Amino acid sequence: MYNDRDNNYNTGGNYSSGYQGYDYGENRSYSYYETPRPKKKKTGKAIAIILGVFLIIGASAVGGYYVGNNFLSIGAGSTAIEEVAPPLIKEAEVKEPQVSQSGIESTQTVTAVVTDVTNVVEAVMPSVVSITNTSVITQSFWGQQFQSENQSSGSGIIVGENDTELLIVTNNHVISDSTELKVQFIDGSIASAKVKGTDANMDLAVIAVPLNSLETTTISNISIAVLGDSESLKVGEPAIAIGNALGYGQSVTTGVISALNRQIAMSEDGSTTGMLIQTDAAINPGNSGGALLNVRGEVVGINSNKIGGSTVEGMGYAIPISNAKPIIEELMSRETKDKVEEAKKGYLAISGLNVTSDVSAMYGMPEGVYVAQVYNGAAYEAGILKGDIITAFDGSSVKTMEDLQGYLEYYEIGETVMVTIQRPNAGGYIEQQLQVILGPPAQNP
């Protein structure tokens, strides 16, 4: 006879179970390892345990939402940033799930992890777009410089419209240095976009697509996202990320809000930091500019793969939407501009150095562009001095020389802009705003 703890196999043909109290029929013998114990009566405590298990199973069976006294109200919630009447683009609306309470008799709230986000995705996906940025990069090889065309991918969120344009928010680094921007919508259609405004400090940008360039079918298929309140987020609540991961098209990842108010460098040189949302929902290259959602389908953050880098897993970051709203509103109100031809481009005629966050902390200097030299040109005529630190250009924050050069791509010679500087004064700095008439590049720098 072969024996182990779980089963007995009798060579005489009879089957014996090692599990106590189970009779497998009249033709099968059974044996016990010990004398059977008398059955105990079910007590009230046992009934309560069974009822508790039943309640948990019931909660899981209705889709994973909160049930009991507190029901999730999943709907449009707030309105879009700017009301335009009558809007061509509908606002995203999430239908409230039908939660069955059959068999649940307890009044105690039961919670479970949200696993089914199909309602949210179905409602919000039409408001998320894919962005392709075509730019020209310069490389050096054996002392020679070569230029080549480069394409990168990102995501965006439809946040509003005006009389002539569809407005989309994304990350500034997604659209920086672009020579051409293309936006792909949920129906697969593609349209050209232009930069409306950028804020390098918050890594935000708004781009515009002319409404007359969109087909009627596209307009009927897309929607305007509902912006939520990131101030009301709690650590541990579900999070949903939608974006153009790896440039393959829209995809969905889920997780939770891992932490709030994380101060993380928002640029590679560490010059910009922000208070960010941390999530374990996967944020991959191409997700930048996409939506981080709550279970009501409201945008609570703008994802950024650039923040934090790729050295760790399960730690993605998003710009809190409550912090971004005022900036988005201001960028949406700007005039849409085209890049100007090189021969017409305006200049300040200065050379500058970046004051990063590390330099700022070490020497007590404002972050921005330190004016190292002023040449005979626009800056000199406006009164900008060596030692000034440029912190804003025509209302857009300036953190690096690259930011400043990027803004100048859209301004012609002769245009008047407001430049904000910080000027050394009595051991500190005072802010001044100077009107500058842009001119040609310095002839003898």
pLDDT in tens, 104-141: 444 444 444 556 888 899 999 999 999 999 887 777 77
Q: What is the pLDDT of residues 52-91, one digit of tens each?
A: 444 444 434 433 333 333 333 333 344 444 444 456 666 6
For residue 353, the SS3 value is: strand
Mean pLDDT over 150-179 rounds to 91
What does the pLDDT average to over 162-169?
94
Instruction: Give me the catalytic one of 130, 152, 153, 173.
Output: 173
Numbered ranges of CATH 2.40.10.10 in the chain: 230-322
Q: Is 203 a catalytic residue?
A: yes
Q: Is the bond preceding 86 in cis, omega lying within 30 degrees of 0?
A: yes
Higher pLDDT, 28 or 266: 266
Closest by CA position to 193, among listed 204, 184, 183, 179: 183
Per-residue pLDDT of 210-233, as tens digits, reads 999 999 999 999 999 999 999 999
pLDDT band, very low/low/confident/very high, at 95 (cuts 50, 70, 90): low
What's residue 66's pLDDT?
A: 38
Going across the sheet that includes 2-3, the strands are 2-3, 7-9, 15-17
Cα 431 to Cα 445: distance, rounded to the nearest angstrom: 27
pLDDT confidence of 397, banded at 50, 70, 90? confident
pLDDT in tens, 194-207: 999 888 888 899 99
Bigger pLDDT: 345 vs 358: 345
Active-site residue, 358 included:
no
Q: What are phi and psi of 133, to 5 degrees?
A: -110, 120
Share of the chain above pLDDT 90, in %: 46
Pair of tokens at residue 291? 């939506």
Q: Where in the chain is the domain with CATH 2.30.42.10?
A: 342-437
pLDDT at residue number 109: 46
β-strand 190-199 against 238-243: which pairing, if any?
A: unpaired
pLDDT 10s digits, 423-433: 999 889 999 99
Residue 300 has pLDDT above 50, yes or no: yes
Residue whose entry in the numeric block shows the structure tokens 């936006």: 183
Q: What is the mean pLDDT of the chain?
A: 77
Of 32-46, 237-251, 336-350, where does mean pLDDT reach its minimum? 32-46
Cα 284 to Cα 288: distance, rounded to the nearest angstrom? 8
Region 416-438 average pLDDT? 94
Q: What is the pLDDT of residue 254?
A: 92
CA distances 51 to 41, 70, 82, 109, Å, are 17, 20, 50, 14
Render 31-71 in DSSP notation, one character per residue: --SSPPPPPPPPPHHHHHHHHHHHHHHHHHHTTS--BSS--
pLDDT digit string, tens, across residues 274-288: 689 999 998 888 889
- 100-130 burial, b at 16+ Cβ within 10 Å, e below that, comes to eeeebeeeeebebebeebebbbebbbbbbbb
CATH second-level architecture of 342-437?
Answer: Roll (2.30)
Indicate the pLDDT class of residue 384, thresholds 50, 70 and 90. very high
Please check the confidence at residue 96 and state whether its pLDDT lies above 70.
no
User: Is the pLDDT score of 403 beyond 90?
Assistant: no
Name which residue leads in pLDDT, 208 or 1: 208
DSSP state of 81: S
Given 199, 203, 388, 403, the catalytic residue? 203
- Selected from 3.40.50.720, 3.40.33.10, 2.40.10.10, 3.40.50.10470, the CATH number assigned to the domain covering 230-322 reads 2.40.10.10
Q: Is 232 known to be catalytic?
A: no
Q: 216: burial class by Cβ within 10 Å (0-12, 13-18, 19+)? A: exposed
Catalytic position from the list 230, 258, 288, 397: 288
Predicted local distance difference test score (pLDDT) of residue 107: 44
